Amino acid sequence: MKPPSKFWLYAIVCFTFCLTIAGVIFTYTSYHKAQDQAITMGKKQLRMINQSAIKLISHSIEAYQSALSMYVDDYIEDTNSLTLKPAVLLPSLTNNKSAAVGLYLIDQEQHILSQVFFQDDTQSEQTALTKKIIDDIASNNVFADQDIQNGSVFFAGQESYLNLYSTFIFDDTPLTLAMPIQLQTLYREDFANDSGLSGYTMVKDQAMEIVMHPSDEQIGLSIVDDRYDKFPNLDFTDLRRLENDQRQHEKGTAMYYSYWWNQDVPQKVLKLSAYEWFSVGNTRLIVASNSDYYERNGLLLQDSLILIGLLVFLLIIIVLLTFFIRNYIKRNRIFIEYKELQSRQQLLKEKHEIEKAMIQESKLETIGVLTTTIVHDMNNFLTPMIGHLQLLIDEHKDDPALVDDLHEVYHAAEKGKELSTNVLRFSKIDSHQKTKTSITETLQEAVTTIRRLLPKRISIDLDLREVGYGLFDAVDLQVIIYNLLMNVYQANANCVIRLSHYTYLVNFQFSDIPHSMKNKRIALIEIADNGPGIPEAMQKKIFTRFFTTKSASGGTGLGLFTVASIVKKNDWLIELRSDSKGTTFYLGIPIDSDE
Taking only the tens place, the pLDDT of each residue in 23-58 is: 667 766 766 777 777 788 888 888 898 898 889 888
Q: How far apart are CA 494 and CA 460, in angstroms?
A: 6
Domains of the chain in start order, with CATH, are: 19-300 (3.30.450.20), 433-590 (3.30.565.10)
Residue 404 pLDDT > 90, yes or no? Answer: no
pLDDT of residue 423: 56
In which band, very low, low, confident or very high, does the pLDDT at 505 lie, cut at 50, 70 and 90? very low
| 535: Cα separation from own chain's centroid | 27
pLDDT of residue 322: 60
DSSP secondary-structure letter at 4? P
Nearest alpha-carbon partner for 286 in 340, 399, 209, 178? 209
Nearest alpha-carbon partner for 275 in 47, 42, 53, 40? 47
Q: Which residues pair with 115 in a beta bridge?
A: 104
As a whole-number percent, the residues of the chain with pLDDT over 70 amount to: 72
Which secondary-structure segment (H or E) carries 311?
A: helix 302-395
pLDDT of residue 299: 47
Three-state DSSP at 578 gives strand
**Across 155-181, average pLDDT:** 85
**Across 204-216, average pLDDT:** 89
pLDDT of residue 334: 80
pLDDT of residue 556: 58
pLDDT of residue 93: 60
Kindly give, in sequence order, each residue whose CB lies less than 8 Å from that of residue 14, ignoring residues fewer than 6 positions away: none
DSSP 71-88: HIIIIIHHHT-------T
Phi, psi of 530 (to 5 degrees): -110, 35
pLDDT of residue 267: 82
Determine contact, residues 464/499, Cβ cutoff 8 Å: yes
Q: How far apart are CA 136 and CA 571, in angstroms?
A: 16
pLDDT of residue 300: 46
Q: Which residues pair with 117 in a beta bridge?
A: 102
Residue 109 pLDDT > 70, yes or no? Answer: yes
Question: Of the ranges 105-119, 203-217, 430-444, 560-574, which one carries the lowest mean pLDDT score?
Answer: 430-444
pLDDT of residue 297: 59
Three-state DSSP at 95 gives coil
Overall pTM > 0.75: no
Nearest alpha-carbon partner for 162 in 207, 116, 208, 99? 99
Nearest alpha-carbon partner for 110 in 129, 135, 83, 80? 135
HEC assignment per residue over 258-299? EECCCCCCCCEEEEEEEEEEEEECCEEEEEEEEEEHHHHHHH
Three-state DSSP at 360 gives helix
Residue 491: which region, alpha, beta or left (left: phi > 0; alpha: psi -120 to 50)? alpha
Residue 286 pLDDT > 90, yes or no? Answer: yes
Q: How far apart are CA 180 and CA 129, in angstroms?
A: 9
pLDDT of residue 170: 78
Determine contact, residues 288/275, Cβ cutoff 8 Å: yes
Q: How far apart are CA 213 and CA 191, in angstroms?
A: 10
pLDDT of residue 195: 45
pLDDT of residue 332: 65
CA end-to-end span of the chain: 117
Q: How many C-alpha atoms does 106 have within 13 Å on its Cβ side?
A: 26
Higher pLDDT: 143 or 506? It is 143
In which band, very low, low, confident or very high, does the pLDDT at 499 lie, cut at 50, 70 and 90? confident
| 566: Cα separation from own chain's centroid | 14
In which band, very low, low, confident or very high, does the pLDDT at 20 lie, cut at 50, 70 and 90? low
Nearest alpha-carbon partner for 363 in 583, 546, 163, 169? 546
Cα torsion at 547, 549, 550, 552 (round to 10°)? 100
pLDDT of residue 245: 92
Q: How far apart are CA 9 and CA 14, in angstroms?
A: 9
In which band, very low, low, confident or very high, does the pLDDT at 250 lie, cut at 50, 70 and 90? very high
pLDDT of residue 46: 87
Taking only the tens place, the pLDDT of each residue in 292-350 is: 877 665 544 455 555 666 666 566 655 554 665 566 567 667 878 888 888 888 888 88
As a whole-number percent, the residues of the chain with pLDDT over 90 amount to: 4
Give how far Cα 475 sits from Cα of 453, 501, 547, Å: 17, 21, 24
| Mean model confidence pLDDT for the chain | 77
In which band, very low, low, confident or very high, does the pLDDT at 90 lie, cut at 50, 70 and 90? low
Residue 577 pLDDT > 70, yes or no? Answer: yes
Residue 506 pLDDT > 60, yes or no? Answer: no
Q: How far apart are CA 227 and CA 206, in angstroms?
A: 17
DSSP secondary-structure letter at 430? P
Which secondary-structure segment (H or E) carries 460?
A: strand 460-464
Three-state DSSP at 225 gives helix
Kindly give, in sequence order, each residue whose CB lies less than 8 Å from that of residue 189, ignoring residues fewer than 6 positions away: 60, 97, 99
Determine contact, residues 583/530, Cβ cutoff 8 Å: no
Residue 96 pLDDT > 80, yes or no? Answer: no
Q: Alpha-carbon torsion 360, 366, 368, 371, what sign?
A: negative
Three-state DSSP at 534 gives coil
pLDDT of residue 133: 85
Q: Which residues pair with 164 in a beta bridge?
A: 150, 179
Three-state DSSP at 120 gives coil
pLDDT of residue 364: 59
